[in-house]
Amino acid sequence: MNASTPLPLAGKTALVTGASRGLGAGVAVELARQGARVAITYWSSPDRADAVVREIIEAGGSAVAIRADNSEPDGARQGVRDAAAALGSLDILVNSAGAGWFEPFTDTPDEHIEHTINLNIRGTVYSTHEALKFLPDGGRIVTIGSVTAESIPFPGGSIYGMSKAALVAFTKGLARDLGSRKITANIVQPGPIDTEGNPASGPSGDFLAGLTALGHFATPTDVGALVAWIASDQAHFMTGSTVTLDGGWTA
């Protein structure tokens, strides 16, 4: 892209929740690279969040980090309000905050069940509900789901997969509810992504890579590039879609 060609997201503002590391950080960096001014939320990793902001700024972009607990309704809502205030507007919401455990369901403690539901489902719902007070007509909502919503070819994924499957129905409902405002809602379902929390070189790396058709992990940048396209004007007719980026996991 030459200097005279506008960046795809130039003039846009974006909030990426849970973006102090891993997949969310990769999405935030890519949105900024394509021209968006970005806010990220974090909860327990201020140094990591500052590092993401610094990376964006040093590359010529604009970013701010906001502390927000997305597992609590008030925290999720306040994070959106603070982001909109810091950015001056909000055009794009990326629901990236999420977590979970892979463990036998019979051994899963209540606190793991509650935290997964609170962060993955409730956090996404409340962030989105609050963001709709700021998003203009034609805004974008992109939620980060998981390939486990469609296929869990190993034991231990019941609760995590359930939480991500719920986001598919939420997204499809949003597309209908928001169609009159031309706000699009889509969900990206990644397969294995090479992050600190799930490294390709880790003890499960070869096994997980072997479940894909391509035989390797993707990177956070791969997910970020897809999210950035969905957030761009080129994807104006795309809504209610579930986009699987899984290397053939579900093939």
> How confident is the model over 227-250, as pLDDT tens digits?
999 999 999 999 999 999 999 999
pLDDT at position 1 is: 42
Instruction: Supply 10's token pair.
Output: 């130039």
pLDDT of 3: 54
- Which pLDDT belongs to residue 4? 65
Secondary structure tally for the chain: helices H, strands E:
8, 7
In the sheet that holds 242-245, the strands lie side by side as: 63-67, 37-42, 13-16, 92-95, 140-144, 184-190, 242-245
The mean-pLDDT minimum among 1-15, 26-40, 59-73, 76-90 falls in: 1-15
Q: What pLDDT sits at residue 123?
A: 98
Structure-token pair, residue 143: 């939620």
Summarised one tens digit per residue, pLDDT across range 189-228 is 999 999 988 999 999 999 999 999 999 999 999 999 999 9
- Whole-prediction pTM value? 0.96
One-letter amino acid of 208: L
Tokens for 152, please give them: 């869990």
Q: Residues with catalytic annotation? A: 160
Alpha-carbon torsion angle 149, 154, 157, 162, nearest 10: 30
Write the pLDDT tens digit of every residue in 101-154. Answer: 999 999 999 999 999 999 999 999 999 999 999 999 999 999 999 999 999 999
Helix extents (H) in the chain: 22-33, 46-58, 73-87, 110-116, 123-131, 158-178, 205-210, 220-231
Question: What's the mean pLDDT in 19-35?
Answer: 97
Flag whether pLDDT at 2 surpasses 70. Answer: no
Mean of all residue pLDDT scores within the chain: 96
Could you tell me how far CA 55 lies from the centroid of its own chain? 19
Q: Where does residue 189 fall: left (phi above 0), alpha (psi -120 to 50 degrees), or beta otherwise? A: beta
Task: State the virtual CA torsion across 60, 188, 80, 233 in degrees, nearest 10.
Answer: 60
Please name each of the domains of the chain with its CATH number: 13-245 (3.40.50.720)
Percent of the chain with pLDDT over 70: 98
What is the predicted pLDDT for the residue at 86? Answer: 98
Query: What percent of the chain is modeled with pLDDT above 90?
Result: 96
How sure is the predictor about 5, in pLDDT bands with cuts at 50, 70 and 90? Answer: confident
Q: Which two tokens stand for residue 1?
A: 């892209």
